[in-house]
Structure 1
Amino acid sequence: MLIHPWDAAQDDDEWRSWLRTRDFGQIAVNGVDGAAPVLVPTHFLYDGATEVVLHLARPNPIWAALEANPVAVVSVHDDYAYIPTGWRDDSPENGVPTSYYASVQLVCQAEIVDDREGKAEILRHQLAHHQPDGDYGEVAADAGPYHKRLSAIRGLRLRVVDVRAKFKYDAHRPEVHERVAAGLAARGLPGDAAALSHQLRRTS
């Protein structure tokens, strides 16, 4: 991901606070023996510092890819909007369109978890996050409603070794801010309000 200086996160707090409210993205892993990369859309749980945990079905093709090369990227993007030609130039015929978006990529070292207690622990953490009212029953390696199903999944612990964060909202072009902000506010498509909020926040 290309990150110009004006698109980079202002500090770690900016990307961490943004990612804290998001728990769905894609995991990317190199393909085996030159095959295409493996991309898996999934919910995940990030601890806000050093680790991402999740579980996936045992037949998932990601496992063979991780066993060959245990490096993965967790990629999350959101708050995106298409910016038409006329919003960044007085003339629609001369303007250059662009995309506004926020994106965080966590580069990780992967550890596959196959022991029953390890998988149950990951499942407990995920369920507690996604269902905080606790209505999911006991989660244990050898008891409760889930223990017989643990053999159908594998757990994944991803240790974060690098972070790439980008907030692309024309911070380097103050001459277009007012026009683009007006366009986003008037258009009102899904994503426009969030993109406008970032643009105003980063250019004020």
Structure 2
Amino acid sequence: MYMPPPFTSRDPAVAARLMRAHPFASLVTTDDEGFPFVTHLPIHLQDEGVAEGRFSLLGHVARPNPQWRHLEQRPRALVTFLGPHAYMSPSVYPDLARVPTWSYLAVHCQVTARLLDHEDAAGKDALLKALIGDHEPAYAAQWRAMDQELAHKLLKAIVAFELTVNDWQCKLKINQHRPESHAALHAMYAAGTPDERALAAWMQDLGMVPATEGEG
């Protein structure tokens, strides 16, 4: 994606924070005609290597979804994560020679896929338990207690994969390069929608406004 320097972060902790907070990602492959094919799906970021910026992702698709065959034939793919985003009004500036824009946070990962073996029930089970741990840990007991024949049938209905991240981009676009807007923009976002409030918190974390402005 387009990466102007003021909005570029190479901090793996920041990228990991975004991916974990917004795990509903877009997996982009190319079909047999070379056209982009997209699946929207939850992705699990594994812990190992994160501190050094070495990311590994886990996910799965339904077996009827042709995308797993794309990954099998063409393992290189793109995974995108979109964080909080919101409209930015030009009213945050002290002058009128401005235009609206959009604030957003995003991570893009270039990946190489490895499909889990179709009969690797243990590998699929581990993947599903990782996703359960991310989103509803209490459900783990119900999954463990499920009839084994039914559980095996459900596991056969998905194709799981591990995605090794070869390169990643993290974009934080919150008008960092226009400090004259920061106080008004933060105040506007802090009083707004959930996405806007999340952006206000990120502004504070990035040092764009004093910490005291975000307290209360």
TM-score, length of structure 1 as denominator length: 0.86
Partner residue in 2 for 1:26: 26
For the residues of structure 2 that align with 1:77 and 1:153, how far apart are their CA atoms? 25
Q: In the alignment, is residue 196 of structure 1 matched against residue 195 of structure 2? A: no
Structure 2 gap segments, 5+ residues each: 210-216
Q: Once superposed, which parts of structure 1, at least 4 consecutive aligned residues long, lie more than 4 Å away? A: none
| Structure whose residues are more often helix by fraction | 2
Q: 1:104 aligned to 2:107?
A: yes
Give how far 1:10 is off.
5.5
Q: Which amino acid aligns with 2:41?
A: T
| Aligned equivalent of 2:144, options 138, 148, 160 | 138
Distance in 2 (CA, whole Å) between partners of 1:41 and 1:159 is 18
Correspondence 1:172 to 2:177:
yes
CA RMSD after TM alignment:
2.3
Aligned-residue sequence identity (percent) comes to: 28
Give how far 1:194 is off: 0.9
Deviation at 1:56, TM superposition (A): 1.2
**Other-structure match for 1:163:** 168
Matched residue, 2:214 = none
Look up the match of 1:127. 132
Unaligned runs of 5+ in 1: none
Equivalent residue pairs, number: 199
Task: Confirm or deny: 8 A CA contact 2:84 2:195 kept in the other structure.
Answer: yes
Using the size of structure 2 for normalisation, the TM-score is 0.81
Partners of 1:152 and 1:14 lie apart in 2 by 35
Alignment-derived partner of residue 149 in structure 1: 154
Match for residue 81 of structure 1 among 68, 73, 86: 86
